[in-house]
Structure 1
Amino acid sequence: MIENKLIEEAVKNIDNLSDLLREIEIEGGVEQYLYKKDIIFPDDGTLDSKMKMCEEQLSQFIFNAEDCKNFLSEVKDNLPSYDEYDEAYQIHVNQKIRDITDKSLNFITNIPKSPGQQWNFNNQFMNYFQNTMNSIDLSTIRAFENFKFKDVNYAIFGKNGAGKTTLLKKISVELLNSNSFVISASRNITPSGNYNVSHSISLSQALENGRNSIYSLLQLLRDKELLAYRNNENKKVKLSDQYYSIFNSLGLERELKELNGMPYLNIIGGNEESQYQLEKGSDGEIAVAYLILAVLLLPQNSYLFIDEPEKHLNGALMKKLFDRLELERPDVRFIYLTHVINFIETRKNVKLVYLEKTNQVNKWEFQPVDDVNSLDLNIILNVEGTSDDILFCEGIGTNSIDYQIYSSVFNNLSVVQCNSCEQVITNTKGLNNDSRFIKRNVFGIIDNDFREEGEIINLAKNKITVLEYSEIENLLIDSEILESVNDELNKVILSDLKNKVIQEISKKKITIMNDYLDKRFLKNISAQKLKFGEGLDEQISNLNKSNQDNLIEKIKLLEQKFDKFVYENSYDELISLVPAKGIYKLVAHELGLSNEKFLTNKVVSLINTNPEFKNMIESKIKLVR
């Protein structure tokens, strides 16, 4: 338990150190401070360079001291909650407080003070300066804060270059030492066929032993069982029995067993000829065997960092395996580093942590993610790989019309597709309102779909553009765009084509009106709030009456517009108003193209080769920035 007395002593010492460092800063830096104190440093030829190094590090030293003051305040405030924290974390916090206390006092006590005092700058002052600065650096303990809770596993995600590998090494070597183990993403666990491994190998070495890893782990398992036998612990369930039991419970249609001291796989229901050595198994079978061994061999209360835990595993197997491993070793803290959404979704008792890249070596920024329901996590991981501003649009697959057009027109943006207009809105709002994940401009663009003016204005406030056309296909058969495409193809008289389009649309009046009613009715209902209890019947009655009056008024207005545009042959007004997927196919056919894909390809080609055409389409989209 961390004592208040220890914290108070550390606070006193770090306050004194902070005051001293500020005094050095006010005096103009290390050299000026020591000069005014009349401290003598014999010059061995390196004095200027060493002095300059201290000057450059002074601001970091001051920052570390201030960070320690904040840290001590946080520890004191959170003392009542420390029972919820992992024992290893408490031990390291305690040790860090002692470091802050001792090193601060040591620096204050030993810094030269007497005028005329002679010091060796390199071996004395600089050593005190740098040792103290490094001892009160909190970057590692700050990293550990993100994994401090008992009985909780963690999933870390972040883009490449965020420092995951460096973080793993830092924590395992400097913080947790023998209690931390790492299974790296670069693991090559396919056995080489050489079963001769050292008996003196450690678990950490075995995990890093490349193609002999699985044999090294098997040797450790046998050594551990032999030790248990010698200590009369053989009445317990043997590790090897656990190993085979876990593997055989996963439904792989393979049974793992030992034959002549070697692990063999046998197809369930097969004969002796269907047996084969584990080293000849699939990558998935070997990966499962490797992970089971690694987890069973961990010491009590270990931390296990697994980079890319999903490697070589399919979704169903992945879930079963890690469910079983976490059940077998509830004392172990599993810390997963992954980019795979399916894996994160399989873990129940997991805290999600976003690891952000920084420009400083051995510095990390962690963002706990308490609620990802408002964001599509897959989107976050996809957009992390780009430095461009982002444009969300509707569509699935790179062949969708939305993606092809928007990625060509806005080629300076990273265009990311969403399954629906609702997801475009959610992602754009979510990322614009939460800068933890994406520190770039985020825009959205969606079809009009009979949206009303008030809704369009509100969406624009969140950088979401609503097309002035019912759908993207409507935009592509706008008169000006159609004219440019037809000039390239030199196929038809456009006035005749437009008349055919208007006639076709007029035939679809009932279908169009029904489409409008469906969409507006759902929007109206979703905008209403009902409260359970007395008066519910009246609420529903009023809701139905309100929607009835509203829909009747608006459908009449739409019908008037529709009839007017058809009567006046107002082509552009008509195609901006109504859905045009079927009409788009008709236009492609009338232009002499086999199908609508060729029309889209022609438009994309013009965008990429004709700047004026591209500008014209961009002006019609009117992207809100």
Structure 2
Amino acid sequence: MKINLPTKKGTPNTNPVLEFDQLVVIGANGSGKTRFGAKIEEDNHLTTHRISAQKSLTMPKLVRPTALDVAKNEFFIGSNHPKQNVNESLSFKKDNRWGRNINTHLLNDFEKLLVLLHTEEYESLSDSKEKKILSPKTKIDTVREIWEKVLPHRQLRIKAGVIETLPIGQESNKYNASEMSDGERVIFYLIAEVVCSPENSIVILDEPEMHIHKSLVKNLFDLIENERKDCAFIYLTHDIDFAISRQKARKVWAKSYEGSNVWDYELLEDNTPIPEQLYLEILGSRKPILFIEGDSSKSIDEKILELIFSDYTVKSLGSCQKVFSTTKSFNEQSDFHHIESYGLIDRDRRTNEEVSHIQNPNIWIARVAEIENFLLLEEIVKEVASNMMKNANDVFENVKSNIISFFDSQKEKQALEHALSRVERLFKNVTNNSDVKTISEFQTSLSSFWSGFNVEEIYNTVLSDFQKLIDQKDYEGILKVFNNKGIVPNSQVVYLCDLSTKNDAYLNYIIGLLKQNGESSDRIIKAIIEKIEK
């Protein structure tokens, strides 16, 4: 989706063009987020459905279907006019849906939403009966399905004009859905509003996390976005936890509303961290932090690990040494911020002995050379293959053969890189030796260092170890030592699973499975966590 953002303060004032699938507008209370969303709706009213933060959650006990066109106009526009094409009239929408105050009107459309759901259900079932086909999946079926995934301890029963709720397995305890808790009702409301939004529309949600327990928010909107892939989503929020959970979203930092439809805001580019000032102005994350290697928030490491460790705030720091030092410093100040922090590092050419010498309990070590290698774990390859209706064993055996052959072709280069890495780490012990006080002592230390081992012998030992992995077809052992950014493409897993040939198709498919929070995601998470030493 491509839109012109509202006018940005500056000299001259500008209206930046933005292409996006998801956009998060984040800022403190009073920074003009609601007006920002309302302005986008005004400028794109034919393709936009906005859900206000100020809304009535009063749910009627019973509704009656009406004509489908009338139900749609009542819901989308606020009223129906038999002699006017109300969809083309912004003023009609402002008057009726927004009570002549598009920024602050209390949205009261729950009854209209339910009328549309029940009307669409009736029309769909009637049409399928006339055509003598099986009953279709209606919009209210979709709402129920998502609601029950978010709240698996509850069920919805759909009847004529009535919705009932009951705890799982407790038929005698059913009750009218109008008596649901605020959280249950707002979850139903948000799902239904998005499901009923027009095709290919821009859906704007103001303070989407309101009334919902934090543990449910991420899963809810992952499921909603997955259901409406045709829509673009704009979220207006002050909650940094929610903003971080929308990992594919572009981010706008709303600083202030300047009046006359002008805002002071910044579009945060992919390679720009969220400014510190933003953290000070809004509610910070109170979850434990997991520091990881990686150069940007769009690294493979962060895309995957955010979903694996959903109970943590995952933060890329760049180098391994930065992860060590930041984790240490952060934990030393825990009395001040009361947030635990951990660091996850790649194995990255470390020997078993070097790994055993890392004594910090807050540092975790991946049992693969690089995070990308997680994607090729046997369990994950088979999970993707099964979901693509392929023979999982055949796909994995082909991937395994391809990786072993690729590693065989790279073994000399890999052995050299491992030998260099070992020498470099040993050399650091010399240069960091605090006992060396004079240049003479330094010279003696260097001489002792260089005479203490044979570089060629190190290389040959590593090469011999690699050859054993190849001869024994030790697939896990190869993933443990093979540092190569081309490992996924050379595995041919994309072609073996008939995935798109686009860049990151395999990665994105795994991310999609993780977002579904089902049996597949559980198996993927379990496979990765088992390959992390804590």
Same fold (TM over 0.5): no
TM-score, with normalisation over the residues of structure 1?
A: 0.38
For CA contacts below 8 A with separation 6 or more, give which structure has more relative contact order: 2
Question: Normalized per residue, which structure has more strand?
Answer: 2
Higher Cα radius of gyration: 1
TM-score, with normalisation over the residues of structure 2?
A: 0.43
Question: Normalized per residue, which structure has more helix?
Answer: 1
